[in-house]
Chain A
Amino acid sequence: MSEDARLILLLSIADDELVIGHRHSEWTGWTPYLEEDLAFSSIAQDEMAHARLLYGLAADGTGRDEDSLSLGRSPEEYRNAVLCERPNREWGYSLARQYLYDTADAIRVQSLSSSSWRELAELMNVVRLEETYHLDHARAWFDRLAGGPATARAHLAAGLEATVGEALALFEPLPGEASLLADGTMPRSSEDMLAEWVGQLGETLEAASLDYVLERHAPLGEMVPTASGEIEETRPFAVPGLVRADGRWSHEGGFAGAGGRQGRHSEDFVPLWEDLTGLYRAHPGATW
């Protein structure tokens, strides 16, 4: 069993939660109404706490502490999916992203709560109970906007079109995934979880007559070279396509190039990283 593969798995999830938690926290004080300030602030607090649990487990195997793992790495060492690092843009975009992220995360958390790695399974069982409220929030807003007047539907559709392509990359295979599958650390492959998620999403969007966004979602943004040049992959990053066949939506084709799971990010990541880690970098080892 490769300890590196386990570390990559933990960091992929923890970095997703930390980075999207940071973006959610940027809504504090700016949402359209007070209850949503509470909602996004609370969801951000939960996501960062879940990241902390996973960094804590990762720390046990690396000899580093939670703070140095969460805040003390260089940008290309972060393994979050690019979807999580995008700025909040507008309300419809953020709600679409929260919907896609949390429905995808639910499949991942559910699967890993039966991991053969006992400590990870225990944490995922705790996380799962808390994520229920995020799913409620995402689904309620989806229903509200999808069932709302034309303007609301247009905002939701625009948000989904902008996010679906990058949401697929939440299931970019992890380096070393084969060894994690072999020993049951990951009960299901990224590919298998992607298929379930795409199928569910297709059904939901069809029921809301919004499935056209799957046909015309925005292309992925470009990945930028890393500061260290350590990532040698030069092919453009690509995700599977989406097709409707036999009455259901599924993915077609595979991933190419290096995306977030391999430490390659968009132009939006470094400014976020500077903001997120600034205090830690200025005062390494500070406690508060």
Chain B
Amino acid sequence: MTPDPVRDALPAGAATAQRVRDALAAVHDPEIPPLSIVDLGIVEDVRVSDDAVHVDLLPTFAGCPALDVIRRDVEAAVGAVAGGRDVRVGFVFAPPWTSDRITRTGRDALREYGLTPPPDAAQRRESSTAFVPVAALGRPAAGAQPSVECPFCGSRDTELESAFGPTLCRATHYCRACRNPFESFKPKAADR
């Protein structure tokens, strides 16, 4: 590597690490454009050494085809700020990604986009409604609080059409209050 007085004056890699983190915050999920991958909670670790930048990502759903796109976008974004270092982007599996890793900003971005964010841990404890997967299998039991809120009108008078949807991370619903179909980001957690 050629000498660079500005870079060499900094603690090893510190400035680069910050630039890398800023670059990662600007990479968005191609299937949910307003959502940054940092707010999606999939950036597990960034390590900067003298000759390389390592970025460890966690897959959301293992079969998500957007993951390959995200990897390429991360390589490009980080490559632009890596100061000539090699960029190595990989997926790791521990800890498992859960939907509780989505930040508050990320949850707001989902709602703005028309996708109901997944219930967080506290909401899962409050709600006794199972995430029943098959359309028209039955209404929630009397007294059970439907857990999925319509992202358009805010009503909880909604029903689940299917636990599956256009992507692996989405379920499909219908809002009886505003009569819109809508989608939610599925909860993924050990206690769901």
Contact = CB atoms under 8 A, between A and B. Distances in A.
Contacts, number: 82
A48 B165 contact: no
Interface of A: 33, 35-36, 38-39, 41-43, 45-46, 48-50, 52-53, 122-123, 125-130, 132-133, 136-137, 140-141, 144
A52 B61 CA distance: 13
Nearest to A123: B93
25 contacts: A36-B134, A38-B172, A39-B134, A42-B164, A45-B168, A46-B62, A46-B168, A49-B62, A49-B63, A52-B62, A52-B63, A53-B62, A53-B93, A125-B93, A125-B94, A126-B62, A126-B97, A127-B62, A129-B189, A130-B62, A133-B163, A136-B130, A137-B163, A140-B132, A140-B133
Contact of B98 (A129, A137, A144): A129
- Chain B, interface size category, equals 20 to 34
B152 interface: no
B165 A122 contact: no
Interface residues of A, dominant DSSP: helix
A141 B134 CA distance: 8
B161 interface: yes
Interface string B102-138: 0000000000000000000000000000111111010
Contact of A140 (B98, B137, B192): B137
Contacts of A133: 133, 163-164, 186
A160 to B, nearest CB: 19
A38 B62 contact: no
Interface in B61-99: 61-64, 93-94, 96-98
